[in-house]
Each structure stands twice: as structure tokens, then as C-alpha cells.
Chain A
Amino acid sequence: GENVEQHPSTLSVQEGDSAVIKCTYSDSASNYFPWYKQELGKRPQLIIDIRSNVGEKKDQRIAVTLNKTAKHFSLHITETQPEDSAVYFCAARGANNFNKFYFGSGTKLNVKP
């Protein structure tokens, strides 16, 4: 099956700086890559996603890039704010079952005011 690796496991940045979280996947047939944000004590929620026919997608301060050749995708957060502090999970949709997702191990982002 698919294997998704996520780095770093923890990331600490100063408010206003940028943050980048990277994920790699193993199955070249995977075609959908969502990112979820989980604030402390809350449920994960989708923040942005990208499909394999697109190289980049932006939504205000967050963006996701995808390199299909290298099988990696990244989340970029610009002008970070304290409310961006959370655990972020990347995921890849299984190629054989479009309902099944494989999640990365998570990145705990701490934005220092």
C-alpha cells in the first residue's frame, strides 16, 4: 500500500515568518493530496488539497505544491500567526480505492508571538 512520510515532526517559527512542511509518498498512482489541521483538543479539519493534475494551489496565506516526479508535496504557510499553531497532517489517497487515505505522522507547528 501507500506510505506517506512527513517532516519535520515539530516546527517552531516566529510570528510573521513562513513555515514549510514536507511529505513524500510511495505510490506514483496516488492522485489526491489533502492537508488537515488539528488544533489542540479539536478534530482535524481540511484546510487545503491538491490533485495530481495541478502543480500548485493557493488559498490566502496557505499554499500547497506537488512534484509528481519526485513524489513529494509541501504545505507553505506565509505570515504565520499564533492561531496557526496546531498539528498538521498530510495525506494521500490510495490509488486502488479512492475512498482510502494514508496519513503522515503529523507536524506540530508552534508560532511564537
Chain B
Amino acid sequence: DVKVTQSSRYLVKRTGEKVFLECVQDMDHENMFWYRQDPGLGLRLIYFSYDVKMKEKGDIPEGYSVSREKKERFSLILESASTNQTSMYLCASSLGLAGKNEQFFGPGTRLTVL
């Protein structure tokens, strides 16, 4: 059973703070993703990674960066948090094999930036 965990369920930060959101998966998946979920906007891809130290921008990368030093861990970094980054953040992972496409999601981190 795939398990994707995120470091926090709820997080409150102040404008300008540096924020780290961490995601860990235990199924040796090659691909990992960070999404943000906002009402009426669905899931929007921020960044994804298909291998250790590899990353690609998604649709809304501005204001974010990522780090993948180990296969099981994918971190999302907000260098200087702003109020418009208040959102639900979802991490996901999937196998890197063609035909094995299911994305497994973490429980989410609800971030509030004051």
C-alpha cells in the first residue's frame, strides 16, 4: 500500500518567512509532484520531479522552489511567503513507467500566511 506523507497538516506563517513543506513516499516512485488546491481552480501543478535532483516547472512555479536530494523525499520551498500563497498544498507520487500512471496523494498541508 503506497503511503505518501506530508510533514504538517496545518501551518501558519507570517509574510516574508521562508517556508518548507516536506513530502515523503515509501514506494520507490520515480515521480513526485507538488500541487496547490484552491476552490474553483482544481489542482494546479507547481513543480514536479522525475528523478533525484531533477525538477521541472509546472503551471504556477512563481514564488516557489523545490528540492529532491533523495528519491523518497520532495520538498517545496516558499522563499518569502506571501498572503496569496495561502492554500492547500498536495504532494503526489507515481511510478515512472509508461502505463503505470496513477498518482498517489498525500493528506495535504493547509498553509495560512498572515
Answer yes or no: do A and B interact: yes
A: which residues have CB within 8 A of B?
1, 6, 9, 32, 34, 42-46, 49, 89, 93, 97-106
Known: A93-B101, A99-B50, A101-B103. A44 touches B45 (CB 8 A): no
Closest Cβ neighbor of A98 among chain B residues: B98
Contact, CB under 8 Å: B101 / A105:
no
B: which residues have CB within 8 A of A?
4, 31, 35, 40-45, 48, 50, 56, 58-59, 90, 94, 96, 98, 101-103, 105-108
Besides A99-B48, A100-B56, 14 more A-B contacts (Cβ < 8 Å) are A34-B101, A43-B4, A43-B105, A49-B101, A89-B42, A93-B101, A97-B56, A98-B101, A100-B48, A100-B58, A101-B45, A101-B103, A103-B42, A105-B41
Contact, CB under 8 Å: A99 / B45:
no
Contact, CB under 8 Å: A43 / B107:
yes
Cα distance A53–B25 when bound, in Å? Answer: 31
Cα distance A113–B8 when bound, in Å? Answer: 35
Contact, CB under 8 Å: B59 / A1:
yes
B44 surroundings in chain A (CB, below 8 A): 103
B106 surroundings in chain A (CB, below 8 A): 43
| Sample (20) of A-B pairs whose CB atoms are under 8 Å apart | A9-B40, A32-B101, A34-B101, A34-B102, A43-B4, A43-B90, A43-B107, A44-B90, A45-B105, A46-B102, A46-B103, A49-B101, A93-B101, A98-B98, A100-B45, A101-B45, A103-B35, A103-B42, A105-B42, A106-B40
